[in-house]
Chains A and B, each alone.
Chain A
Amino acid sequence: MRYERPETLKDASDLLSNEEGLSRILAGGTDVLVQLKSEMVEPDLIVDLKHIGGMRSISSEAGGYRIGAAVSGAQLGEDDGVRAMWPGVVEGLELIGSTQVQGRATMVGNLCNGSPAADSVPGLVAADATVRIHGVNGVRECSILDIPVGPGRTSLAKGDIITSVFLPARAPNASDAYLRFIPRTEMDIAVAAAGVSLELDGDGVCTNARVALGAVAPTVLLVEEAGAALVGTRLGTDSLDALVKATEAACTPITDKRGTVEFRTRTAGVLAKRAAKIAYARAGGKS
């Protein structure tokens, strides 16, 4: 295994595209090092992105925020601007692992690991966030939803490097929330998860809603019917019931050591409902 620490994106991309063996990108390392330890993956090349300019910075852009690929959970959590605008996205990343893991873990790493239970992804999908990809043939923007294609698999091509996440600007009276279910209070992988982003009008009526689910399908899901159930409502009981129904209907989970099909399905509905209520309150809605 070689360790490389390029200082430009071009060098990083060249290293990755020229490598004949297996390569891994190192940002926070909280997944890669676990894979190395368990001997699941034995890469020939590790490319550390942290010394490329911009990778560890958070900047305002077009009313929203651009977040470098190597920004850790701890760093993001200390950014009051992002936290105020996208609290659900921030809490999604901050829920991953321990304080120690927060010192390293990144949203992009979480996304590229391809886990259907990745805590930071439902919030990003609900936020309609995009990523910027530096590829061999240039730079492109891509929806978060298009990155994971199955457990442990992404749509990224050889030499592709996600360099940043973009969180768009928000209208007034808008917010988001993320909840996951784990059997302890910390340190577990999500058994089911829901991210909800809402926009309200001045009267507290929901005008736009995006609901994303984690750990209940091979990839994180955007459930349009669940969002639609909230639009035009003040999140009264009927609309929340409809949200739960739509959520449960979208779930196609598996039974494994962490949970059963029934448990995941039911819990996803409960979490979607609870996250919607939190997002609604954060957006200034009064139910």
Chain B
Amino acid sequence: MKNLHISTTVNGDEKEFICGSDETLLDVLRDRLDLTGAKEGCGTGDCGACSVTLNGRLVCSCLVLGAEADGAEIETIEGMAVGDNLHVLQRVFIEKAALQCGVCTPGILVATRALLERNPDPSDTEIRYWLAGNLCRCTGYDKIVKAVQIAAAEMRSA
């Protein structure tokens, strides 16, 4: 199998990597770039644990080929905090106990940030539908929705 040489931007940093043509962006992030914040919960786009943004669009990185990252801009959970400043969503998720095991949390945070960038004042229903592709098996989603609302209010007043 011929490997591909890919140049991309991840969390604002230029990155180059070699990958097989059948490797997914999730494989590349985790195995080639050592960014293990995105998780493989299903590999088929059903759980959202691997959520990242690709050129500003929220996607499942398991449904993107690594090769497609060439020339693209990717944002992952690792780029969400700036230095030691957590993003408001990250801080509120901790404060409001919006995670239990935490394995779905990176995907949910990436997805939620994408939501609030488009809709700074979502209803509970809008949050729930936006996050329908992010499975969480621990929380029953209640504290997640509440945390998103609290973070959104704080971001609006900032």
Chain A residues close to B by CB (< 8 Å): 1-3, 5, 26, 29-30, 33-34, 36-38, 46, 48, 50, 72, 74, 97-101, 103-104, 185-187
**A72 vs B60: C-alpha distance in the bound complex, in angstroms?**
14
Which 9 pairs between the two chains have the least Cβ-Cβ distance?
A98-B133, A186-B132, A3-B21, A103-B57, A103-B59, A100-B60, A3-B67, A33-B63, A37-B43
Report whether B46 and A187 are in contact in the complex, using a CB–CB cutoff of 8 Å. yes
Q: What would 8 A/B residue contacts be, using CB atoms closer than 8 Å?
A: A46-B65, A98-B45, A99-B114, A100-B48, A100-B59, A104-B64, A186-B129, A187-B133
Asked whether B58 is an interface residue with its Cβ less than 8 Å from the other chain, the reply is yes
Return chain A residues, CB-CB under 8 Å to B22: 1, 36
Return chain A residues, CB-CB under 8 Å to B65: 3, 26, 29, 33, 46, 48
Task: State how many angstroms separate the Cβ of B30 from the closest Cβ of chain A.
Answer: 15
Task: State how many angstroms separate the Cβ of B142 from the closest Cβ of chain A.
Answer: 16
Which A-chain residue is minimally distant from B133 (CB atoms)? A98
Partner of A37, one of B62, B67, B115, B130: B62
Report whether B48 and A98 are in contact in the complex, using a CB–CB cutoff of 8 Å. yes
Partner of B45, one of A26, A34, A186: A34
Decide: A104 near B59, CB < 8 A? Known: A33-B65, A187-B46: yes
Decide: A101 near B45, CB < 8 A? Known: A29-B64, A48-B68, A72-B57: yes
Return chain A residues, CB-CB under 8 Å to B130: 99
Task: State how many angstroms separate the Cβ of A149 from the closest Cβ of chain B.
Answer: 26
Task: State how many angstroms separate the Cβ of B33 from the closest Cβ of chain A.
Answer: 18
Report whether B1 and A101 are in contact in the complex, using a CB–CB cutoff of 8 Å. no
Return chain B residues, CB-CB under 8 Å to A185: 129, 132
Asked whether B139 is an interface residue with its Cβ less than 8 Å from the other chain, the reply is no
Return chain A residues, CB-CB under 8 Å to B90: none
Which A-chain residue is minimally distant from B66 (CB atoms)? A3
Partner of A99, one of B54, B67, B132: B132
Partner of A46, one of B21, B58, B62, B70: B21
Task: State how many angstroms separate the Cβ of B96 from the closest Cβ of chain A.
Answer: 22
Partner of A33, one of B1, B21, B64: B64
Asked whether B74 is an interface residue with its Cβ less than 8 Å from the other chain, the reply is no
**A50 vs B131: C-alpha distance in the bound complex, in angstroms?**
27
Return chain B residues, CB-CB under 8 Å to A38: 44
Which A-chain residue is minimally distant from B40 (CB atoms)? A37
Decide: A1 near B21, CB < 8 A? Known: A100-B111, A103-B59: yes
Task: State how many angstroms separate the Cβ of B37 from the closest Cβ of chain A.
Answer: 16
Task: State how many angstroms separate the Cβ of A115 from the closest Cβ of chain B.
Answer: 15
**A104 vs B52: C-alpha distance in the bound complex, in angstroms?**
12
Name the interface residues of B7-49: CB closer than 8 Å to any CB of A.
20-22, 24, 43-46, 48
Most buried by B among A1, A72, A97, A104: A104
Asked whether B4 is an interface residue with its Cβ less than 8 Å from the other chain, the reply is yes
Task: State how many angstroms separate the Cβ of B72 from the closest Cβ of chain A.
Answer: 10
Return chain B residues, CB-CB under 8 Å to A5: 67, 70
